[in-house]
Structure 1
Amino acid sequence: MSNWKTAFRSFYYETAEEPADIVLPPAQTALLVIDIQNTYMEVGEDPKEAARWAPFRARMNETVIPNTKRLITECRERGVEVIFARIACLKPDGRDRSLSQKKPGFNYLLLPKDREDSQIVPELTPAQDDIVLTKTTDSALTGTNLRLILHNMGVRYVIAAGIFTDQCVSSTVRSLADESFEVVVVEDCCAAATEELHRNELTTINMIYCHVVQREDIPGFLEG
């Protein structure tokens, strides 16, 4: 098992005591899979950009997607609710998007909700009774009715996976923490554009907004 209690320590927590053992009661826990969508797996026509993003796609194909698939199965087997959040706009021209998704550059996303590139990747196709939320914001909490859904289902603990670690995952985790949900982020089910950005953001949010753990840790937390 990973040593999650001492990993990803920032300056603020270098001398802090080890946290208590994590217990995730399945009936009060949800798995939230964030933005693992077709658009981010497309290679594109520009060879320089394709090469620049090759390490990200490799991590997604070799680590994040297979691990998230296993995590979803493990959670379902233990009665944990599985929820997906995806970036998609309700209007074809995207005028319903938040400002962060309208700015030029990488964050500019025009993903109409019914288009193929906005869908969850085939390997993680939601089951019929999984909840799938559409968001036009980075945070899955502020941009949807997720807060109400979790409250109505009696969920107090959230397992977070997805992309990008330093953007939508982090934004969602911070929002959840502010609403007093207990959050664990599964490191090997997440990715940022680079390994450096990924690790830096996990170090920033660990212990204050969440605990950063590995997929192999989760079954033990769910079994108490």
Structure 2
Amino acid sequence: MTGWKTRNRSVYYELAPEPDDPDLDPATTALLVIDVQNVYLQRPDRESLPTEAERAHYDVWTPFHERMHGTVIPNIARVLAAFRARGIECLFARIACHTTDGRDRSLSQKKPGFNNLLLPKDDAPSQIVETLAPAGDEIVVIKTTDSALTGTNLRLILANLGIRTVVCVGIFTDQCVSSTVRSLADESFDVVVLEDCCAAATDALQARELEIINMIYCNVMRADEMLALMGVE
């Protein structure tokens, strides 16, 4: 059989039996949208960049932006619509700090480089992109860590909601998505990651991280495969 049960396998699981289908009971399943925020989709005009090195770095990120706009955001929107139509809990996590100077951030978000972003919780860059904005009383947690569990009361919220299976989507696959998935798995939640609803900075990082987390921390599948298991056309 081809498909999610045999795809994205690492050497650890080459000889493992095919996994069972996840339990996607609407009463005990939740969707978690991770860090699809304005800051990660904003880009300057390429020609405004003063150096060739900056323009080259800009070009490295172009496939990520194409994937986000052409695949990831439309697929997350489709999954959100399907879950909402069935009354399934939809939750959101976003990176933001409670202070204007970011002094409450975890160490990993203060180190120099890509992760060192100052995102006060009320500022526009820290908000979830409008296309995927939470609706009604859908729950949003603010985290100053990579894992959405470590830096919030999300575990308690999920327990109070009676959730056993968490479907994870968002960015970045090899950073906050992976950290959240590992935390959920360690807390004995069953986790599904939708590979075409996630993105890493590069396709190579995306493929490698999916291979690493698949079958031990989660089941990796595509949106269509999960929706088919749910009986969604």
Normalising by the residue count of structure 2, what TM-score does the alignment of the two structures yield?
A: 0.93
The reply to whether residue 41 of structure 1 matches residue 47 of structure 2 is: no
The amino acid that maps onto 1:33 is: V
Shift of 1:120: 0.4
CA distance in 1, matches of 2:73, 2:220: 18
Match of 1:145 among 141, 153, 156: 153
The reply to whether residue 91 of structure 1 matches residue 78 of structure 2 is: no
Match of 2:58 among 38, 50, 53: 50
Within 5 Å, give how 1:77-88 maps onto structure 2: 77-88=85-96
CA distance in 1, matches of 2:61, 2:227: 32
CA distance in 1, matches of 2:115, 2:12: 30
Which residue number corresponds to residue 13 of structure 1? 13
Match of 2:74 among 48, 57, 66: 66
Structure 1 unaligned blocks of 5 or more: none
Which residue number corresponds to residue 31 of structure 1? 31
1:43–1:49 CA distance, 2 compared to 1 (3 A) = farther
Contact 2:23 2:165 (8 Å CA) reproduced: no
CA distance in 1, matches of 2:83, 2:116: 33
Within 5 Å, give how 1:187-198 maps onto structure 2: 187-198=195-206
CA distance in 2, matches of 1:150, 1:9: 28
CA distance in 1, matches of 2:23, 2:122: 38
Match of 1:158 among 157, 166, 174: 166
| Higher radius of gyration, 1 or 2 | 2
Q: What secondary structure is seen at the aligned counterpart in 1 of 2:103?
A: coil
Q: What secondary structure is seen at the aligned counterpart in 2 of 1:161?
A: strand
The amino acid that maps onto 1:113 is: K
Which residue number corresponds to residue 174 of structure 1? 182
Shift of 1:211: 0.3
Bigger mean CA deviation after superposition, 190-199 or 21-30:
21-30
Q: What secondary structure is seen at the aligned counterpart in 2 of 1:160?
A: strand
CA distance in 2, matches of 1:78, 1:141: 25
Q: What secondary structure is seen at the aligned counterpart in 1 of 2:114?
A: coil
The reply to whether residue 201 of structure 1 matches residue 214 of structure 2 is: no
Q: Kindly provide the CA deviation profile for residues 1-34 of structure 1, in whole angstroms up to 9, marking residues without a partner as x.
A: x710000000000011111122311110110000
Match of 1:126 among 113, 131, 134: 134
Percent identity, aligned pairs only, is 62
Shift of 1:223: 4.4
Contact 1:78 1:222 (8 Å CA) reproduced: no
Bigger mean CA deviation after superposition, 110-119 or 49-58:
49-58
CA distance in 1, matches of 2:27, 2:180: 21
Instruction: Number of aligned residue pairs: give it.
Output: 224
The amino acid that maps onto 1:52 is: V
